[in-house]
Amino acid sequence: MIIAVNFSEQSMSLNTIEENQRNSPINDGEEVWLFGYGSLIYLVDFPYLESKPASIKNWSRRFWQGSHDHRGTEEKPGRVVTLIEQLGEVCHGVAYKVESSVFKQLDVREKNGYLRLNIDMSFADGSADQGLVYIATSDNEAYLGEASEYEIAKQICNAEGPSGPNDEYLIELARSLRAMAVEDPHVYEIERHIASIKAL
């Protein structure tokens, strides 16, 4: 079952920096767990104190968010991952313990529709803690929504932005998930379609 999550009645602007800093302030000096499930798994350009594999319950990773600023452009948006609430599912990723000041940089990186949400995460060693995750809900302007894995692959193959080609995002994510022995049929199926499209 898929449940839509709405943070506000109004649609969000394409720049969520202010909204995150206004609605989700973090105390100075606090150390916070951040759950990463997309590029935050493989592109770690921020300082952290500790990192370990983690998972969150009742969420699925999906390439349903548009990227106009990193892996696409206004004219040709790419596709990147967001989380869809789905009872019974588990999304595996990486948790980083970061100092509060790091969110200034992360809010800029994730500004294209992502809001910080409090989340319970479980660690591979059996322990659990609360932390934050960036999620792009269906009411943000950059949201593209559901499409078949083949359609998503076609769009990814045609998109490129300031951070590089969109297929690099998917390929790096798939490689990292595989290295962590994570099963993610959605990601691997898009990867397979991309390989076939590129072989044509």
Assigned token pair, 99: 């100092």
For residue 178, give the DSSP letter: H
| Per CB under 6 A, 38 contacts ligand SIN | yes
Q: Given the residues 110, 151, 160, 189, select the one marked as catalytic.
A: 110
| Per CB under 6 A, 40 contacts ligand SIN | yes
Find the length of the chain: 200
| Per CB under 6 A, 36 contacts ligand SIN | yes
Of 16, 39, 140, 176, which lies in the binding site for ligand SIN, with binding defined by CB under 6 A? 39
Residue number with the shortest CB distance to ligand SIN?
A: 38
| Per CB under 6 A, 96 contacts ligand SIN | no
In a 13 Å sphere around the CA of 48, the CA atoms on its Cβ side amount to: 19
Assigned token pair, 25: 């302030």
Residue of 71, 54, 36, 51 whose CA lies nearest to 170: 71
Smallest gap from Cβ 200 to ligand SIN, in A, equals 27
Smallest gap from Cβ 148 to ligand SIN, in A, equals 21
Q: Is 75 a catalytic residue?
A: no
b/e map of 123-148 (b: 16 or more CB within 10 Å)?
A: eeeeeeeebbbbbbbbbbebbbeeee
Interacting span for ligand SIN (CB under 6 A) from 6-14, 36-44, 49-57, 184-192: 36-44
Which residue numbers are catalytic?
Answer: 110
Chain positions contacting ligand SIN, by CB under 6 A: 36-40, 80-81, 110, 134
